[in-house]
Structure 1
Amino acid sequence: MSESLRVPPSTTVIGLKTVGIGCIMLLPLLLLHARGVGEAVIAIADLCFLGWCALEADWRWLRTPWVWVAGAWWLWLVVCSLPLPWFHLGEGSLHSTVQALAVVRFLLLAAAAEHLFLRPEPVRTWLFVLSVLAVLWIALNSLIQMITGRNIIGWPRGPDGELTGPFGTPRAGPALSRLLLPALLPPVAELLDTRGLIQKVAAYVLLFIGFATMILIGQRMPLVLTLFGLVIVALLMRQLRPVVLAVALAGAVLLAASPVVAPQAYHRLVQSFSSQLEHFSTSSYGMMYARAWEIGRQNPISGLGYDGFGTGCAQPRYFRPTFDGSIPDGGGAAFCWHHPHNYYFEALVDGGFVGLGLFCAMVLAWMITLGRGLWRNPVPIRVALFATAAFEFWPIQSSTSLVSMPIGGWLFLMLGWGLAEARWPRQHPMVDMVDPSPDPPMPARPW
């Protein structure tokens, strides 16, 4: 139907879209301080999206390639979680089935953000502003806590000396690592693109302050992932390579001085991390990964269904020696947790090798979509969101469960934002720093 013959949207349609956009705008605040409410807001956004699709009779988003792959992974997870003990499925009973069905809410959030709620450029710009404010809130609380011992709210450091930012528990690092690049890369790129020494110095200082805050927080994996993200930024944007190199070197100097400047951070980032790597096989992470592998080996087709690690880890039939063979029972049940602290081992335990293969295909589909055209036209906001997704899905890391809040919320919010930026090119890009090359820029390609 041509635009001239298109029926104007009804008040209900406009209302559903407006409420959905409002839910997306609320998520950064809710993921920081009200993750339970954030769960409800995600559900509301999904329902608004589905209602809009039904009223507009517009289901074209179902043709998106990644939706097909993600749908196949989710359906397999549901099948593996059905309470059918004679097929060795769904060992978590009805609870496992319900939780597996509920996983679709995160996939719908990413699709809704990509196809509808984040389609308008001003909405994406407001999401950027909210991300910047969230970064400032976390950084300000962290720095005040480092100086005074307590954050603005009055909470002290974490149990091992970590800076908790605006939280009562050590959650500042994971949240900041997911927001840092999308919030900092566009202004850093714009400052570098402006003539004048002061602006260029400001770009170096801004990125260093962000990275230094990650170091001072004292959480190992978020810092490593942030550094990995900066490496990806440097590979895609040659204009930022000197900045990234300078910031990495300055960060190394800060880390070397941390025994004096921040001894708690030094203990966690250097001493504790080195010891954990040296004895990885007998660490809690090494024992969890060995147990997850054994569960997958014994249930190669279907795994144990959703929350399979929580139901299977303590069962003696999965007790096997650690990777180095030093502990005969693999640690017994003392270290068991709800999930194996790795997305890929989690996919293996929940859905067997079939589920793991579908999960890998889903991640690959997302990364291909996010990275489309970035080599020739590395728009900073897209590069930042691509790098964030890349380190989020990097297989060699410890992580939460894929859909546990708040990290699951950050993951799929950033993913949906990145997919929207890839699908709807900006008329006024947030600093379009095209890499100098004789090749013409790649035109936008709709699905």
Structure 2
Amino acid sequence: MRAIVCRRRFASMTGTLSSARHAGDLATEAGWPERLRRICLYLFAVLPLMLLFSREGSEGIVVIIGLSFLAVIFARRRWDVLAQPLVAIPIAIWIFLMAVNTPFAWWDPPAVLGRAVPWLRFFCLFGAVVFWLFADERDFRKVAIAWGATFVFVVIDGTVQGITGTSLTGREIFLEQRLTGPLRRPNIGRYLAVLVYPGLAAFLVFGERNLDARRIAALFVTLAVVAFFITYTGERAAVVMSFGTVTLAALILMVQGRRFIVPGVIVTLLAGGVTVVTVILTARLRMRIDPTAEIAGDFWNSPYGELIRAGVTVWKVQPAVGVGLGNFDMVCEAWEPELVYGCLRHPHNIYLEWLAEGGAIGLAGFLAFFGVLAATVLGTLRLRTRRPLLTALVIACPVLTFIPFVPSQSFFSNWPAMVWWTSLAMTCAVAFHVRHRAEG
């Protein structure tokens, strides 16, 4: 018996039993991996705060977590984790970008290589968060509390900016129309929309079982505050993303049973009502109604419609392998020199960006990743009777990243990419954790 135990311990140390182990067990690796995991967990907890004040600090956190994840994988020979589709597909995409997209880049392959190589850090962060950082519900509690405190600060700082013209952190309103909060650019609404709902899902991991009337009321208040602030920022895309997520979550909740119909309707009406009232009561936002209506009424002659046409033109230059990461504006200027609004750095649509810069192959890889991610979150449906709120929210969260008709930031730029991958990682970590623990 002692010999069997010793062999099992040795196998655990060397990884020879990894094929029989579950990827979710990586978080239970003892010794130095456990100490390293705890450090990285706390770093991930403060990542949203760091994203507000220091891009270099944020990059450092992403790199440390990613390298630590790889160190544990290689030290413990946990190749089963790298074989998980959520990790394997991004690896395959990265190999394509390095081996095919870069050599065939339309302009400046060395510069394209410099953009493609660091892309590795994003899916290493993603894999670390999903499969390694969260060992139990207490870890989700720590991160949810840290994220929640950050979001409270963001709302207070931005609201003060909207009222006085200057935020608590000294930033002024962008062009007298859009809030920036602590950021230099008017992206605070998208920042909150993309991160707050996965953060709320992390709260539900440990909080849904103990929901009473007081906590349910607190959730409604939180939803109202989030809807208000995102609308108050003046970011139209963020409003659409946020309201789309809430509406989809409410619909998923309502189809789970009659007892959820009334709460689902209340949630939708609350989010929509707060949005409308905020616009009506804010002169700065009312000024944007007519320009928004003009864009919607003549979309194809608007800057966004022009960007879509330019994106298709750029894609046709090298349709299979793409023109290379970051080359959109260069190719656009060469092939569409007479655009009314000019060529921007990217087409402001993640699907068109993948198609133009990564080609049909790159877009196919991105869609494959989306399919695996969708399967991961949809897998929580089997827990809908025990986890109705969490199931609805986790399934709705990918709308924040993958909604196709909302103008987006670049998927390959450093800061937007860190926000996106952090959001996706938390969403999938919640889905993976609740499924793995339920199956275990």
Q: 1:360 aligns with which of 354, 367, 379?
A: 367
Q: Residues 288 and 340 of structure 1 are in contact (CA less than 8 Å); yes or no, is this contact kept in structure 2? A: yes
Which SS does the other structure have where 2:333 is aligned? coil
The code of the aligned residue for 2:60 comes to A
Could you give the per-residue CA deviations for residues 8-59 of structure 1, whole angstroms, max 9, x where no partner exists? 7785434433333233223121112112211122111111111111221222
After TM superposition, give the deviation of residue 62 of structure 1 in Å. 1.6
Could you give the per-residue CA deviations for residues 228-279 of structure 1, whole angstroms, max 9, x where no partner exists? 00112112223665345335435555555556621112223x2222122222
TM score, norm. by length of structure 1: 0.83
The code of the aligned residue for 1:70 comes to P
Q: 1:76 aligns with which of 96, 120, 127?
A: 96
Alignment correspondent of 1:322: none
Alignment correspondent of 1:431: none
The code of the aligned residue for 1:77 comes to L
Alignment correspondent of 2:134: 118
- 1:305 equivalent to 2:312? Answer no
* Separation of aligned partners in 2, 1:237 and 1:3: 49
After TM superposition, give the deviation of residue 98 of structure 1 in Å. 2.1
After TM superposition, give the deviation of residue 109 of structure 1 in Å. 0.8
- 1:338 equivalent to 2:345? Answer yes
- Give the unaligned 5+ runs of structure 1: 320-328, 429-442
* Separation of aligned partners in 2, 1:254 and 1:58: 48
Alignment correspondent of 2:167: 151
Alignment correspondent of 1:53: 73
Alignment correspondent of 2:400: 391
Query: 5 Å matches for 1:38-437?
Result: 38-83=58-103, 88-184=104-200, 186=203, 194=211, 196=213, 201-238=217-254, 241-258=261-278, 261-268=281-288, 270-315=289-334, 317-318=335-336, 329-331=338-340, 335-374=342-381, 376-377=383-384, 378-381=387-390, 383-425=392-434
CA spacing shift, 1:200–1:59, aligned 2, 3 Å: closer
* Separation of aligned partners in 2, 1:273 and 1:394: 19
Q: 2:9 aligns with which of 6, 10, 24?
A: 6
Q: Residues 90 and 305 of structure 1 are in contact (CA less than 8 Å); yes or no, is this contact kept in structure 2? A: yes
Which SS does the other structure have where 1:373 is aligned? helix
After TM superposition, give the deviation of residue 401 of structure 1 in Å. 1.1
CA spacing shift, 1:64–1:195, aligned 2, 3 Å: closer
TM score, norm. by length of structure 2: 0.84
After TM superposition, give the deviation of residue 192 of structure 1 in Å. 11
CA spacing shift, 1:184–1:106, aligned 2, 3 Å: closer
* Separation of aligned partners in 1, 2:6 and 2:305: 58
Alignment correspondent of 2:43: 23
After TM superposition, give the deviation of residue 119 of structure 1 in Å. 3.4
Alignment correspondent of 1:438: none
Q: Residues 191 and 203 of structure 1 are in contact (CA less than 8 Å); yes or no, is this contact kept in structure 2? A: no
Which SS does the other structure have where 1:89 is aligned? coil
Q: Residues 164 and 172 of structure 1 are in contact (CA less than 8 Å); yes or no, is this contact kept in structure 2? A: yes
Could you give the per-residue CA deviations for residues 64-120 of structure 1, whole angstroms, max 9, x where no partner exists? 12323222222222234334xxxx535232010121121121111111111112234
Q: Residues 191 and 202 of structure 1 are in contact (CA less than 8 Å); yes or no, is this contact kept in structure 2? A: no
Q: Residues 19 and 48 of structure 1 are in contact (CA less than 8 Å); yes or no, is this contact kept in structure 2? A: no
After TM superposition, give the deviation of residue 368 of structure 1 in Å. 1.1
Which SS does the other structure have where 1:314 is aligned? helix
After TM superposition, give the deviation of residue 180 of structure 1 in Å. 2.6
Alignment correspondent of 1:325: none
* Separation of aligned partners in 2, 1:153 and 1:222: 22
Could you give the per-residue CA deviations for residues 366-418 of structure 1, whole angstroms, max 9, x where no partner exists? 11112213265245345434322223111111111113233211221222222
The code of the aligned residue for 2:45 comes to M
Q: Residues 178 and 233 of structure 2 are in contact (CA less than 8 Å); yes or no, is this contact kept in structure 1? A: yes
What is the aligned length?
413
Once the two structures are aligned, what percentage of the paired residues are identical?
22
CA spacing shift, 1:277–1:416, aligned 2, 3 Å: same
CA spacing shift, 1:11–1:184, aligned 2, 3 Å: closer
* Separation of aligned partners in 1, 2:321 and 2:229: 43
Could you give the per-residue CA deviations for residues 137-166 of structure 1, whole angstroms, max 9, x where no partner exists? 111112222333322123222214222223
The code of the aligned residue for 1:390 comes to V
CA spacing shift, 1:272–1:235, aligned 2, 3 Å: same
Higher helix proportion? 2
- Give the unaligned 5+ runs of structure 2: 14-28
